[in-house]
Amino acid sequence: MSTALFTALLLLCVSVHSTPEFNPQHHSGAASPYFNAPSQFGIPIDIPAQCSVDQAAYINIRAVPAASQNQGPLAFLPSWVPPVDDQPHEPLFLPSTGAREAFDLGVKLRKLYGFTKGGENMTQRVVDTATYFAHGYLSQGNYVSAPGENRGTVVTMPDSVNFTFADSLTPSNGCPAYGGGDTSAKANTFRASYQGKIAARLNQFLDGLVLDDSDVGIMQDLCGFQAEISGDTRFCDVFHPSEWEDYEYADDLNYYYGSGPGNPFSATVGFPWVKAVTDLFVLGPNAAPVNSTFVPPSDHELYRVYPLSVTAPDARRHFRSSYLVSFRGYVALEKLSCDRDGPPSVVLGPGRSADAEKFVPVRINNAPVPLSGCTSGPGSSCPLQSFAEYVERQRAAVAGDFVERCGLRGVSNATGVLDIFTEVPSRNAQSSVLAVPLPYAS
C-alpha cells in the first residue's frame, strides 16, 4: 500500500469518526430514551484516580410530556398501530425497557461505588422502578440460602399534597404559588415558527389525510416513546435533523420556563432536597470539610446565554432537555474523598489516606457539570465546605422561605423541611417502607 493511499484512508477514518451519525432520539427532549449526556465542559467522566465516593444522592427528574394512501417517509402509516394497546392503564405501567434501565442503574452504581450492606434505607410504576434498581444493586446476594442478607429498603410516599408541602420529592405540588411562575407557554411561540413548515412538507406525501401543526408535535413525541415501548423507530426517520433540533429546543423552552431556571419558584421547591442532601454529606461517614472562603459569581458568568430566547436557539446553551429529562434521567450529587498528594497506596485504596479531603461533584445523566465559581477540586469538583456554604447562603437566598414564597403562611403544619432521609418512615411525608427483594418462601 502506498503512503499516499494509506494517508487517504487514515484521513477517511478520522473524518468518519469525527462526524457521528445524527440520532433523533438524542434530540427528543422528554421523549428521549436514556443515554449518557455528553460532557459539555471538557470534564472527564471517570472518578479521579485519587478519589472514592463515600456518599451519593440521585434524584430522578423524569417528566411525562404531554386510512389513506401515503408515500415517502410516511408510507408506513396505513399499517401503523399505536404502541399503547391498553390505553386506560398502560401509561401507568413500568415498561420492560424501564425495568431493565432501573436494574442496570443499580448494577452500575454497585460497581461504581462498591457495596452498601443490605437492610439500610436506600433512598406503582415508581415503586417498581425503585424495586428493580434495588434488585440490580443487590444482585450479588444469595437470597435462597440467606434471605435476610443483601436486602434493601424502598421508601415510598405519595405526591406532595396539602399535608406534605416540602417534605416530598414532588414539592411543587405542595406549593400553591408554583403554577403562577410557569411560563412554559412561551415554547408555543417557537413551535409556531417551524411546525407549520414541517406539516406542509409532509402533506406532500399524503393522500386523504392532512396534517396540521399540532400533529407534528405528537408525531415527533412518538419517535422516543414508541422506540422505548416496542423498538419501532419509523417516526424517527420522518423528520430531518434540523427539524429534530427545533423540536428539542421547543422542549428546552418548555422545561426552562416551566420547571427550570425560568420559573422563579423552581429554586424554592428544589432547595429542600439540596439542603437535606448537603446536610447528610457534611455529617456523613468520616466527614472532614475543607476550610475555604467561597463567594460564587452570578450564574450568568458561566451560563451567559440565558434566559433562553423564544425565537431562536443558541448553540452555546447548556440547558438541553434531552440531557435532563430523558427516560430515567437523573441529577446526582456525590461526595468524594480524595488523597491530597495524588494516587493512593495500594494498601489503603483511593481516598483513604489520613489527610484525605472532601469534594462534591454534580452529575446530570452521568455527565459532570461544574458549579459556577467552585471548581478547584479534582475533576472540577467543589470542596465540601464551600459547597455547604454555597447551599446555606447563596442558594438559600435565591430559594427564599418555602412557606412564605409558596403562600402557606398561617397554614397548619406547613413545612419547608425535607426529612425523608432522616425520618423513616416520615409521619409528615406519609412515607412507608418496603423490603426488597421479598423473602423467599421456605
Q: DSSP assignment, residue 21?
A: P
Q: Please give the Cα distance from 336 to 55 (Å, whole number).
A: 7
Rounded Cα–Cα distance for residues 424 and 422 (Å)? 6
Report the C-alpha gap between 398 and 285 in whole angstroms. 29
pLDDT score, position 345: 61
- Containing 432, the helix (H) or strand (E) segment is strand 432-436
Of 375, 368, 381, 402, whose CA–CA distance to 266 is shortest? Answer: 402
Element (H, E) at 435: strand 432-436
DSSP classification of residue 256:
H
Model pTM score: 0.72
Cα 18 to Cα 172: distance, rounded to the nearest angstrom: 42
Per DSSP, the three-state class of 287 is coil
Q: Find the helix packing angle between 195-203 and 213-230, rounded to 10°.
A: 80
Phi–psi pair at 108, nearest 5 degrees: -60, -45
pLDDT value at position 192?
A: 95
Question: Which residues neighbour 303 within 8 Å (Cβ) at sequence distance 6 or greater?
Answer: 317, 318, 319, 372
Q: How many CB atoms lie within 10 A of CB 241?
A: 12
Q: What is the mean pLDDT of each run of 10 residues along the chain (442 residues)?
A: 35 39 78 77 89 88 51 78 62 65 75 56 64 74 60 74 81 92 94 95 91 92 84 90 94 92 94 92 59 37 65 83 76 91 69 89 91 91 95 93 94 89 82 70 45
The residue written with cell numbers 405501567 in the block is 93
Supply the pLDDT for residue 309.
86
**Contact of 337 with 351, CB cutoff 8 Å:** yes
Tell me phi and psi for residue 60, to 5 degrees.
Answer: -80, 130
Determine how many CB atoms are found less than 10 A away from the CB of residue 440. Answer: 9
Task: Give the closest residue to 203 by CA, choosing from 213, 194, 193.
Answer: 213
Amino acid at 137: Y
Report the SS3 class of residue 209: coil
DSSP string, 111-131: HHH----TTSEE--HHHHHHH
- Take residue 433 and report the three cell numbers written for it: 417502607
The enclosing H or E element of 243 equals helix 241-258
